[in-house]
């Protein structure tokens, strides 16, 4: 890697490759969150336990907030909020739909499937917001970094909560169900 030891040959930060990467990643997660907001009600509706259903509904409210936070980040950048198709989220949501179809309505196996798919989604979001927060800090955008960190923490908490639900009762009850 070439060492950059002079400021004269470095691009202004607004035009840097890293800034472009930051904007692209922002558009990706903006599309992903909006896509997810449309899918979450179906996941909640498909849940067997009240606990899982209400957790997903609560995360839908958080997701709507996260979309507003992203719009604030776009505003800080002085660019119009716009999404760019996230193929990963499209695939994760698609896989979640298939898992719903392949498990019996009213079963705890259904809940175990929803939790599995929801956690894969949360992990994608955790990776995305972790990267975005780091990029924002590197680019000297501390206000954006703090907005992205708030969302990162919500995604992490959601993941922990899903694990607690699975370990609390879902997996054990599902284990007693017939195929
Ligand atoms: Fe999210
Ligand atoms: Fe993506
Ligand atoms: Fe999430």
- pLDDT for the residue 129: 98
Distance, C-alpha 34 to centroid of its chain: 10
CA–centroid distance, residue 5 to ligand 3 (Å): 40
Ligand 1 (single-atom ion) residues, CB below 5 Å: 63, 66, 125
Shortest-distance ligand to the CA of residue 67: 1
Please tell me the distance from the alpha carbon of residue 69 to that of residue 72, in angstroms, as a whole number: 5
CA–centroid distance, residue 55 to ligand 2 (Å): 24
Q: Where are the domains of the chain?
A: 17-176
Please tell me the distance from the alpha carbon of residue 12 to that of residue 6, in angstroms, as a whole number: 13
Task: Provide the mean pLDDT of the chain.
Answer: 93
Mean pLDDT of 150-156: 98
Shortest-distance ligand to the CA of residue 26: 2
CA–centroid distance, residue 63 to ligand 1 (Å): 5
Shortest-distance ligand to the CA of residue 123: 3
Residue 44 and residue 117 in contact, taking contact as beta carbons nearer than 8 Å? no
Shortest-distance ligand to the CA of residue 128: 2
Q: Is the pLDDT of residue 8 over 60?
A: no
CA–centroid distance, residue 122 to ligand 3 (Å): 5
pLDDT band per the 50, 70, 90 thresholds, residue 7: very low
- Closest by CA to 82, choosing from 93, 90, 74, is 74
CA–centroid distance, residue 68 to ligand 1 (Å): 11
Please tell me the distance from the alpha carbon of residue 165 to that of residue 52, in angstroms, as a whole number: 7
Question: What phi, psi does 11 have (nearest 5°)?
Answer: -70, 150
Distance, C-alpha 74 to centroid of its chain: 17
Please tell me the distance from the alpha carbon of residue 60 to that of residue 81, in angstroms, as a whole number: 20
Shortest-distance ligand to the CA of residue 151: 1
- Closest by CA to 40, choosing from 26, 53, 50, is 53
CA–centroid distance, residue 83 to ligand 3 (Å): 17
CA–centroid distance, residue 8 to ligand 1 (Å): 39
User: Which of the following CATH numbers is that of domain 17-176: 3.40.50.300, 1.20.1260.10, 3.40.50.2300, 3.40.50.1440?
Assistant: 1.20.1260.10
- Closest by CA to 130, choosing from 81, 138, 84, is 138
Mean pLDDT of 153-167: 97
Please tell me the distance from the alpha carbon of residue 103 to that of residue 105, in angstroms, as a whole number: 6
Distance, C-alpha 115 to centroid of its chain: 14
Tell me 7's DSSP state. Answer: G
pLDDT band per the 50, 70, 90 thresholds, residue 1: very low
Mean pLDDT of 65-86: 97
Q: What are the Cα distances from residue 116, in Å, to 77, 93, 104, 119? A: 35, 12, 15, 5
CA–centroid distance, residue 32 to ligand 2 (Å): 7
């Amino acid at each position: 890697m070439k060492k950059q030891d002079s400021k004269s040959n470095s691009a202004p930060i607004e035009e840097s490759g890293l800034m472009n990467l930051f904007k692209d990643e922002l558009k990706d997660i903006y599309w992903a969150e909006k896509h997810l907001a449309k899918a979450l009600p179906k996941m909640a509706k498909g849940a067997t336990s009240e606990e899982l259903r209400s957790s997903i509904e609560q995360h839908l409210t958080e997701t709507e907030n996260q979309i507003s936070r992203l719009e604030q980040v776009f505003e800080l950048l002085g660019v119009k909020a716009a999404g760019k198709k996230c193929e990963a989220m499209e695939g994760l949501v698609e896989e979640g739909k298939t898992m719903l179809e392949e498990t019996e309505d009213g079963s705890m196996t259904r809940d175990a499937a929803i939790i599995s798919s929801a956690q894969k989604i949360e992990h994608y979001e955790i990776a995305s917001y972790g990267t975005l927060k780091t990029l924002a800090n590197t680019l000297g955008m501390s206000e954006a970094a703090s907005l992205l960190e708030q969302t990162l923490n919500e995604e992490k908490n959601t993941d922990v909560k899903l694990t607690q639900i699975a370990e609390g009762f879902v997996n054990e009850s599902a284990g007693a169900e017939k195929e």
